[in-house]
Amino acid sequence: MTYVIKRNGKKEPFNEQKVKNSVESAVKEAGYKTHAKKRLIDKTLKDVNQAVQGKEEISSAKIRNIVINDLEQEWDEDQVPVTRAWRNYELKHGTIYRE
């Protein structure tokens, strides 16, 4: 089992559903169509799962960076960038990261 190390140092078991819910919220807010949304969510989850596979621990910041990287690559000029939607999600849920 892989544990996620939170910013406050607390550990919790990796939960793919939490990542999926966050990404789904961001792509929905960005106005993605169903087929594009599913493709982006699936790709992001695959990348996150590859990163945690075989590891005992991973930082929440590392997971976030993978998600942000995938989201930054996927937006059209007429859509709200998904990364902006992700950051809005962070604001709403109090999970702001300072880089």
Q: What is the pLDDT of residues 64-96, one digit of tens each?
A: 899 888 877 765 554 556 667 777 777 777 665
Q: What is the mean pLDDT of residues 33-37?
A: 76
**Domain locations along the chain:** 3-93
**pLDDT recorded at residue 99:** 44
How many of the other CB atoms lie within 10 Å of CB of 1? Answer: 6
Q: Measured between alpha carbons, how far is residue 69 from residues 14, 43, 47, 48, 83 in Å? A: 19, 11, 10, 11, 9
Residue bearing the bigger pLDDT, 18 or 81: 18
**pLDDT recorded at residue 75:** 59
